């Protein structure tokens, strides 16, 4: 067995470039599918009132997303389709390209903590934001004074 040391620095060495080029599927290379969506980055936050899930998906439209809750599982999915056609009348050619991409992310929702009827989603400036309201009984209650008799 041979141990090979690879450096993950900013400038790839020539051997790694050739390994990546000849060792992989050329048509699956990132340059061959520049508009492909990978699984987007997700932030999950919690405060006293709610859970907030943020999905970074720039370049998409609100209608590309589907958000659903089923059996205490929140599923976020998106699908995009891009068609591009180019015609050269004088040269006598037509070129068509299609690009389909999708992703799905699922999150288990704390069954006794979240009110499934109070889940809101909005999309603005490349950020899908989903707010899951906590049930009133799990929200922290302010301290109250008890009268001594």
Q: What is the pLDDT of residues 9-59, one digit of tens each?
A: 444 455 544 454 444 444 444 444 444 556 888 999 999 899 999 999 888
Count of domains in the chain?
Answer: 1
CATH number, domain with residue 73 = 2.60.40.790
Does 11 map to a domain?
Answer: no
Distances (CA, A) of 122 to 61, 69, 119, 128: 11, 16, 10, 6
Does 30 map to a domain?
Answer: no
Query: The domain containing residue 71 runs over which residues?
Result: 38-138
Does 101 map to a domain?
Answer: yes
Instruction: Check if the beta carbon of residue 140 is closer than 8 Å to that of residue 61.
Output: no
Does 131 map to a domain?
Answer: yes
Does 3 map to a domain?
Answer: no
Does 133 map to a domain?
Answer: yes
Instruction: Determine the 3-state secondary structure of 37 from DSSP.
Output: coil
Report the number of secondary-structure helices (H) and strands (E) in the chain.
1, 7
Does 134 map to a domain?
Answer: yes
Taking only the tens place, the pLDDT of each residue in 116-132 is 889 999 999 999 999 99
Instruction: Quickly state the pLDDT bin for 74 (edges 50, 70, 90).
Output: very high
Instruction: Check if the beta carbon of residue 80 is closer than 8 Å to that of residue 101.
Output: yes
Residue 103: closest CA among 140, 138, 132, 128: 128
Q: CA–CA separation, 149 vs 146, rounded Å? A: 9
The pTM assigned to this predicted structure is: 0.62
């Amino acid at each position: 067995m041979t141990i090979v040391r690879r450096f993950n620095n900013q400038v790839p060495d020539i051997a790694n470039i050739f390994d990546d080029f000849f060792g992989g599927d050329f048509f699956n290379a990132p340059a061959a599918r520049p508009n492909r969506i990978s699984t987007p980055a997700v932030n999950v936050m919690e405060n006293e009132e709610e859970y907030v899930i943020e999905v970074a998906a720039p370049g998409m439209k609100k209608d590309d997303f589907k958000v659903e809750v089923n059996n205490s599982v929140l599923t976020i999915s998106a699908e995009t389709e891009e068609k591009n056609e180019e015609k050269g009348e004088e040269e006598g050619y037509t070129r068509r390209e299609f690009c389909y991409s999708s992703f799905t992310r699922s999150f288990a929702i704390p069954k006794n903590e979240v009110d499934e009827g109070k889940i809101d989603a909005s999309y603005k400036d490349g950020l899908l934001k989903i707010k899951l309201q906590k049930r009133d009984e799990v929200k922290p209650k302010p301290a109250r004074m008890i009268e001594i008799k």
